Amino acid sequence: SQTIHQWPATLVQPVGSPLSLECTVEGTSNPNLYWYRQAAGRGLQLLFYSVGIGQISSEVPQNLSASRPQDRQFILSSKKLLLSDSGFYLCAWMRRTGNTEAFFGQGTRLTVV
Amino acid sequence: AQTVTQSQPEMSVQEAETVTLSCTYDTSESDYYLFWYKQPPSRQMILVIRQEAYKQQNATENRFSVNFQKAAKSFSLKISDSQLGDAAMYFCAYRSLTLTTGNQFYFGTGTSLTVIP
């Protein structure tokens, strides 16, 4: 069966520090991968998606970047965090075809102080 | 880009009663998928129900059913015999089938459902 791992679960970082959140998927190949952010009391905002290794599409211009160094690994990064980067970050994967849903990781609660 | 609108930020229902959550979407595509996700306090996203746009029959999953009106671009979720465990944030989601956009999911802003004992 397929599983998705996302870590860390919680993170407190000072303003100006770097960020690296990692997401890996097991049990499938060539997945579409996604990073979402959920601000407090808000919906899910799509940040990045990837349809293949090294292929990253950004939905919203911001202080963050994403990379996909391996087929089932998706990394969200920042060189210098801002207070506004605080939020709940969710990684998700989806099969490229078929009527499947998106499968989500457990999420990372990031607090920038 | 597609947009998904949930006009009810909060809803409440008495235990064992029925509640309907509303969702509308905007798209120019003819084929797509629609989903309802549940996010309990644990923040884990859980799929509740899915609907293929090409199917006229409304999807049902036990106590959960949808009213899919393609022409009106409406996709409401009905929860029957509400239980305390149904209390959560509910998100309506649209899945594009356009490969060039990575089969993107678009989410509404969510409806917070409270179940009153």
A99 touches chain B (CB under 8 A): yes
Cβ contacts below 8 Å, chain A against chain B, sum to 56
In which band, very low, low, confident or very high, does the pLDDT at B97 lie, cut at 50, 70 and 90? confident
CATH classification at residue A80: 2.60.40.10
Residue type, A102: A
Q: What is the biggest distance separating any 2 CA atoms in chain A, rounded to whole angstroms? A: 42
A102 touches chain B (CB under 8 A): yes
Contact B99 A49 (CB under 8 A): no
A30 touches chain B (CB under 8 A): no
CB A90 within 8 A of CB A107: yes
Strands (DSSP E) contained in A8-64 are: 10-13, 19-26, 32-38, 44-52, 55-58
Phi/psi at A37 (nearest 5 deg)?
-120, 140
pLDDT in tens, B3-60: 899 999 999 999 999 999 999 999 998 889 999 999 998 888 999 999 999 888 999 9
Q: What percent of chain A is predicted at pLDDT more than 70?
A: 96
Q: Report in angstroms the alpha-carbon separations of B25 from B14, B29, B32, B74.
A: 28, 11, 11, 7
Residues in chain A with CB shorter than 8 Å from the CB of B108 are 43
A27-36, A71-80, B79-88: least confidently modelled range: A27-36
- Structural domain span for residue A83: 3-112
Domains and CATH numbers, chain B: 3-116 (2.60.40.10)
A48 touches chain B (CB under 8 A): no
pLDDT in tens, B82-93: 999 999 999 999
The count of structural domains within chain A is: 1
Contact A101 B50 (CB under 8 A): yes
